[in-house]
Structure 1
Amino acid sequence: MSHLTYPEVGATAGDLPGGYHHIRASRVIGQGQAALSNAAAALLSWQMHERAGVRKISGPAGAVEGCDLAFRWLGLRFECRVVSVFDEPDRRGFTYGTLPRHPECGEEQFVVELDPQTQAVTATITAFSKPSSWIVRAGGPVPRIVQAHMTQRYLRALDVTRPS
């Protein structure tokens, strides 16, 4: 079994570690418990990835702590491991971290959350990452631009207010 490529496992749950590029992005994606349930189902079953154009090529049908996954996007392969899954009444999601066959080194957390007062459902993506090799570093700003683009695609993919 491969090891995660970064030592700060679980850091997306708190203060993000130094030495990495950070992302925190949120979007209101619906209202009420049904919207939370629908978004959580899409998130935890990899439908968010599929809707954003990322294909799961190996791994379980849903997010399971400790499972390894491989995704393909534009011919590139990305391998990661789910390091946590949470299923609380008003908050659901998971965190995965990079494995050696990933162009980045770091962690990404995906959360859908219901505000009990306003009933707004918000999707939030938090990540820290850096290039895993010289060839990715040679891409200059391109990896950051791609990551920002994919973050927005993932948030749109969870938006239950948008028509399919």
Structure 2
Amino acid sequence: MRGRADFTYAEQGKTERPYPAPMTDRWPDGYRLVLRKDELKVDDARAGFLRLTNGLLDWDLHRRAGLSVAPGTPRAAPGVDMASGVGFWRVRYYAPCRVIWVSDAVLDDAGTAVRGQRSGFGYGTLPGHPERGEEGFYAELDEDGRLYFRIAAYSRPANRVVAAANPVNVRVQQFYTNRYFAAAYRLASGS
């Protein structure tokens, strides 16, 4: 899991989009693109932003979405290798990735989240992952104090076997994307 394998795709870093960079352009050609954004209506958006940011960077979003993350996986930081696992009971498939970029929360002097920022991270696929590409996870606090969770991903099958089962793979991706959004709300609301 901590090997220094090369990424399985050439277009690294395209998910790094600091606020207020648009999320709708400059994506590499030849990939399936997933862009989703939902407002998270919580009692205190600034506190929710900080909870969500920490949940993203500490892999709690992945765990709450039902994925396994190896114990001891460090907080997301550039160069950190991680693998999230899917499966049942002891039979799990782990998909290796490497964190490319991280953006932590910006706080004011009182320790409150500053409006108009996007935090989160992006990771790219390593050999052994069924896809080739990158995914970014974002907590966003806009200038009006509204809290959003975003996902941006571009991917394509890593090999012919995965390509042959691509309709199933797309459904699995949609399933976990929905679970990520449910988990983001739980993290932001503190539930």
Tell me if TM exceeds 0.5: yes
Q: Secondary structure at the match of 1:12?
A: coil
Matched, 1:85 2:111: no
Q: Which residue of 2 aligns with 1:11?
A: 14
Matched, 1:123 2:166: no
Q: Which residue of 2 aligns with 1:141?
A: 167
Q: Equivalent of 2:132, from 105, 123, 127?
A: 105
Paired residue total: 163
Query: Which AA in structure 2 matches 1:84?
Result: W
Larger displacement relative to structure 2 (97-106 or 141-150) = 141-150
Q: Which residue of 2 aligns with 1:46?
A: 59
Q: Could you report, residue by residue, the CA deviation over 1:68-104 in whole angstroms, capped at 9, with x for unpaired residues?
A: 1112111211000000001242321000000001000
Sequence identity of aligned pairs in percent? Answer: 36
Once residues 140 and 109 of structure 1 are traced to their aligned partners in structure 2, the CA distance between those partners, rounded to angstroms, is 21
Q: Which residue of 1 aligns with 2:109?
A: none
Q: Which residue of 1 aligns with 2:184?
A: 158
What are structure 2's unaligned runs of at least 5 residues?
17-24, 107-116
Q: Which residue of 2 aligns with 1:94?
A: 121
Once residues 71 and 95 of structure 2 are traced to their aligned partners in structure 1, the CA distance between those partners, rounded to angstroms, is 11
1:100–1:87: structure 2 CA closer, same or farther, 3 Å change rule? same
Q: Secondary structure at the match of 1:11?
A: coil
Structure 1 residue 12: Cα displacement: 2.1
Higher strand share: 1
Q: Secondary structure at the match of 2:82?
A: strand
Structure 1 residue 59: Cα displacement: 6.0
Query: Which AA in structure 1 matches 2:27?
Result: L
Once residues 174 and 137 of structure 2 are traced to their aligned partners in structure 1, the CA distance between those partners, rounded to angstroms, is 14
What are structure 1's unaligned runs of at least 5 residues?
none
Scaled by the length of structure 1, the TM-score of the pair is 0.92
